[in-house]
Structure 1
Amino acid sequence: MTIPAPHDRRLRLGDGRQLGYTEYGVPDGHPVCYCHGFPSSRQEAGLLHQAARIEGIRLIAPDRPGYGLSSDRPGRQIHDWPADLAELTERLGIDRFDLIGVSGGGPYALACLAALPARIGRCTLICPLGPIYLAPVRRTMAPGVRASLSLARRLPRLTNRFYTGPIPALLAARPEVVARLRYRNAAAPDRAVLDRPEVTAALDRTIVDAMRDGAHGARRDLHLYPRPWGFEPDRVDRAITLWHGDTDNTVPVAHAHWYARHLPDCRARILHGEGHYSLPVRHGHGILKGLITVHD
C-alpha cells in the first residue's frame, strides 16, 4: 500500500474560518466526500487512495472544525457540518457528490444526508459509530470507553481540562503512545493490519495532524457524540450501504445492527473476521466500487 503525501489546501469560509482539506484518487474523477473518524483528520482518507485511483474517484477529505488545518468553531453541533461541506463543494464547482462516513464520521455523514438531500447521491458508512446517547447502544462499548463517555456527559469541565492540558501536545509528539493503545485493544484481524508499518505510520500521522493545534475538535466531538445529535438518524430516509466487521473492538458490530434495524433504507454488509482497521484496508476497493456502482 502506497499512501502519497496529502496535497493540502485551505479554504476561507464565508464566516472567516479556515477549512482544511486534501484530495486523493483521481483529480478529475467522480467526486466523493469523506467524513473522517475520531480523533483523526483528512489524512485518514489516504488509506483509500489506491482504491480511489483504480475506481476513478476524486476523494475529497476535509478536516472538521478544530482538527488538522481547520479553524476551531466553539459550540459547534454535529448538524452544523453540512453547511461547511456544502460550501466546500460549491466552491470546488461540484453540484452533486457521493459520501463516505467512517467510524466517528458516521454521524456527520448522516447529518449531511438529512440536510443536503439534493446534493448527495449515494452514501456508504464504514464501521460507523451509532447513537451512543441511547443507553442500549452506549452499553455495547468497551468499559473504558463507557467510562470516558460518562465523564464527558457528567463532568464536561474535567474532560475539557484533560484535552486542553499537556495531553494533546504529548500525543502530537509521541503518536506511538496512541499506537500502543490501539494495538493493545485490537482484535486479531486488526493486529494483522497494524503490523504493517505503512498502515501504522499513516494512522500515526493522522493523530499528529489532528492534535497539531491542540485537541479542540476531539474535545468537542467527545462532548457531542453521547448527546442527541440534533436530528433523528432513523428519519434519514435515503439508501445507505453500511460495512462493518464482526470483530470490531472499537465500534462494536452492534452499532451496525442498530442502524440496519432503524434506518429506513440500509443495506448492511457484516464481514466475518474483520475489525475496525482491517475492514477499510483490506476491502477499500470493494467498498468504493460498491459506492459508485450501486443504483440510486
Structure 2
Amino acid sequence: MADTDLPSSGASKAELNSDLIHLIYDTAIDNSLWPETVLRIYEAFEEGEVAPDALHDLQVHFAKGLQISERIVRLQERGDLQDRLMRSLALRVELFGHDGRRIDTLGHAEAVPKLDGPRDPAPEHGFFFGPDRVRELGLPPEVASARISFTQGVEGMAAAVAHDLSLRPSQRALLESFLRHANLRRAADEQNLSYETARTYFKAICLEAGVSGQAELLRMLVLNPALMLRGDRAAEPASQIRRLIQRPDGGQIEVFVLGREDAYPIVHLDALSGGALDLLAYPERYLPLLDRIGARLVLPCRPGMFGSSFRPMTGALDHAEEVQLVCDAMGIDRFSLLSYSYGSVAALGAAAGLQKRVDRVVLASVCYPDFVAPDWRDRDFFYQVSQMIGRRWPGLLRRVIPFVTKSILQNIDNYADQAAARAKCPHEEAILMSPDIRPRSRAMLEERIAGGMDGIVQEYRIVAQPLDFDLSELTVPLHLFHGAEDRVNPLEGARALARKAARAELTELPGRGHAFIYAEWDWLLCAAAGVPYRIPPPDRRGILTKAQ
C-alpha cells in the first residue's frame, strides 16, 4: 500500500484515523496533494468514519499540517521570487569550485558552456572575482571564484536605447549594427548606408544621448543600469486597457476596456482565474472581431481582485452595484452580460439587479449554485470545494482557498497536466495543453490575488450558497452554452437553471468541455452583441484559434 493510500471501508476507525494523520503530513511535504487530502478528510467526517473521540486530535493535526505546508510554500515563494528577479535581469552569475568546475548558475543561463577543468573563467563582458574577492563577498567556502556577465543582446540594448531616446527606426537599426561591430563603417555597410549618412545618423544619436563620440557612447551603454533589464521595453503598456473607477466609499474598481468608445458594450464577468479573454496579453486577438461587430469589451474586476479594492459582499445581487457603478462612470446605459464558469453567479446577480438596462445574458460553462451534482465526487476539485466543503464548512474556505491557490501557483504544470489528463474530450485536452495557457493562467492568477486573498475567498463563499433572488422573476433573456463533457460545472445544473428561469435557452455543445471559451470566444462575443453567429464543430482548438 502506498504511503498516501487509505485503508478500505472495512478498516477500524482507529486505523483510519492513523492513516488520515499520515496522509495529512505526507501532504504537508508535497502540497500538490492538498485537494485530494481535503476532500478525503471531508468525506471521513461526513460519513462518520472518524471516531468521535478522535475528532479533536485530527483537527489539531490538520492545522499543524497546514502550518508546515504554509511555511514550505513561503520558502518556495521566496526562492521563486529570487529566481524570477535574476531572470528578469540581463546578468548571469556563475559560481565555480576549487577545481574550476561550475557549481551553480544564477540568472539568464542560455548557452552557457560547461567547464571541463580548472581554468580562469574570465568573462568576455563583465567581471571576474578570484578567491580573495569571493571571501570578501561572504560566499560559501566551496566557492573559489565567480564571474558576472552581461547577457543583454545588441537587439535588446538598441531597443532600450531607442525607446529611451525616441530614436527613429533608421537610427535604431544603425545603432544595433554599431553595437554589433563596434565600428561605424561596418555598421554603415550592413545598413546599406553611405558612411556620411551613417555619420549624420550617429551624430543625432550622440546628441540625443548627451555624449560626444563613439567611445563615450559605448561607455554610457556599458554603464547604463537600465540595460540590465531584460524584455522589450519598447512594448506598448496596457495602460490604455486598464482603468480605475472610484467608488463612493473611497475605494476603486479596476476595469479592462477594449474596443471603440462608441461601440456596443459587452460587460464580461470571468471565472476566478481571470484569463479566458486575455485582453492584457493579446488585445490584437479580439480587436478585429470587436470592430467588425461594433462591440467593445468591459471587464470589471470584482472586489479584492486585480486593482479593485475589497469590499464585503453577501450574495450575488451585490454584483449589480459594482456593474452599475462601472456603467454609470463610463456613460453606459444599456449593455449585455457575458460570463464564464463561476462568473455566472456575478452575471445573474447583476442582471437581476439591473433588469431594465440589460439586453441579454450569455453564460458559458454555466455555474448554477442552487444545483448540487449527485456525482460531485467525480467532479473537479474546485467544484467540490465550492459546492460541498463551502456549504458544509464555510469557515474552512478562508484557510483552504488561499493555501490551495498558492499551491497551484507553485505547481502550475502539475495541476495543468492533471486537468488535461482528466479531460473527457479532445477539444478540452487540446485547450488545456496549449503552450500559452499555463504561463498566462499563472500570471493572471498572481495579479488577481496581488492585493490579498479576501476577494477570492469571498467569491467562493458566494458561489457556495444559493442565489439570493428568485430566478423565476428574472425577465432578461438568458442564453446558456454548456459543454456536454464539462467536468467542473455539471450539465444537469445548466438544465436546471434553464427550467427555472423565465426566459432561458440552453444550447448543449457535444464534444466540448469546460474551457471551450478559450477556443470559441468569437461566436460567444457575437451572441453577446446580438449579431448572427454560427457554432462550428468541435475541432477548432487551442487558445490562439483565429476568429471566423
Contact 1:138 1:146 in 2 (8 A): no
- Deviation of 1:154 after TM superposition, in Å, equals 2.5
CA distance in structure 2 between the partners assigned to 1:5 and 1:252 by the alignment: 39
2:339 pairs with 1:101: yes
* Map of 1:139 onto structure 2: 374
Letter in 2 for 1:44: A
Contact 2:333 2:357 in 1 (8 A): yes
Find 1:227's aligned residue among 449, 454, 465: 465
- Deviation of 1:94 after TM superposition, in Å, equals 0.8
The Cα offsets for residues 80-130 of structure 1, whole Å up to 9 and x where unpaired, read as 110111011110011111111211111111111111112111221111101
* Map of 1:40 onto structure 2: 273
Stretches of structure 1 lacking an aligned partner (at least 5 in a row): none
The Cα offsets for residues 171-221 of structure 1, whole Å up to 9 and x where unpaired, read as 456544543443344333211112222334433332222222232222112
- Deviation of 1:276 after TM superposition, in Å, equals 1.3
2:250 pairs with 1:13: no
CA distance in structure 2 between the partners assigned to 1:177 and 1:80 by the alignment: 35
CA distance in structure 2 between the partners assigned to 1:21 and 1:147 by the alignment: 30
User: How many residues are paired up?
Assistant: 285
Contact 1:245 1:270 in 2 (8 A): yes
- Deviation of 1:79 after TM superposition, in Å, equals 1.1
CA distance 1:30–1:234, change in 2 (3 Å): same
* Map of 1:241 onto structure 2: 479
Letter in 2 for 1:9: R
* Map of 2:263 onto structure 1: 29
Stretches of structure 2 lacking an aligned partner (at least 5 in a row): 1-235, 280-284, 533-548
Letter in 2 for 1:40: S
- Deviation of 1:75 after TM superposition, in Å, equals 4.4
2:508 pairs with 1:290: no
Letter in 2 for 1:10: L
The Cα offsets for residues 217-238 of structure 1, whole Å up to 9 and x where unpaired, read as 2211221222222112232122
Letter in 2 for 1:46: D
CA distance 1:283–1:145, change in 2 (3 Å): closer
* Map of 1:119 onto structure 2: 357
CA distance in structure 2 between the partners assigned to 1:244 and 1:33 by the alignment: 20
- Deviation of 1:65 after TM superposition, in Å, equals 0.8
Within a 5 Å distance, the mapping from 1:1-296 to structure 2 comes to 6=238, 7-37=241-271, 39-41=272-274, 43-46=275-278, 49-50=286-287, 51-131=289-369, 133-134=370-371, 137-141=372-376, 142-143=378-379, 144-145=381-382, 147-148=384-385, 149-164=387-402, 167-172=404-409, 175-176=412-413, 178-187=415-424, 188-278=426-516, 280-293=517-530
Aligned with 1:267: secondary structure?
strand
Contact 2:486 2:512 in 1 (8 A): yes
Give TM-score, length-normalised by structure 1. 0.85
CA distance 1:192–1:169, change in 2 (3 Å): closer
CA distance 1:249–1:13, change in 2 (3 Å): same
The Cα offsets for residues 256-278 of structure 1, whole Å up to 9 and x where unpaired, read as 21122221111211111011112
CA distance in structure 1 between the partners assigned to 2:400 and 2:374 by the alignment: 24
Contact 2:345 2:367 in 1 (8 A): yes
CA distance 1:282–1:87, change in 2 (3 Å): same
CA distance in structure 2 between the partners assigned to 1:200 and 1:155 by the alignment: 31
- Deviation of 1:160 after TM superposition, in Å, equals 1.0
Identify the range of structure 1 (231-240 vs 115-124) with the bigger mean alpha-carbon deviation: 231-240
Contact 2:355 2:474 in 1 (8 A): no
CA distance 1:86–1:162, change in 2 (3 Å): same
CA distance in structure 1 between the partners assigned to 2:408 and 2:383 by the alignment: 21
CA distance in structure 2 between the partners assigned to 1:243 and 1:233 by the alignment: 18
Contact 1:173 1:208 in 2 (8 A): no
Q: CA RMSD in A?
A: 2.6
Report which structure shows greater RCO (CA 8 Å, sep ≥6).
1
Contact 2:390 2:397 in 1 (8 A): yes
CA distance 1:176–1:230, change in 2 (3 Å): same
CA distance in structure 2 between the partners assigned to 1:30 and 1:92 by the alignment: 12
Higher Cα radius of gyration: 2
Identify the range of structure 1 (5-14 vs 96-105) with the bigger mean alpha-carbon deviation: 5-14
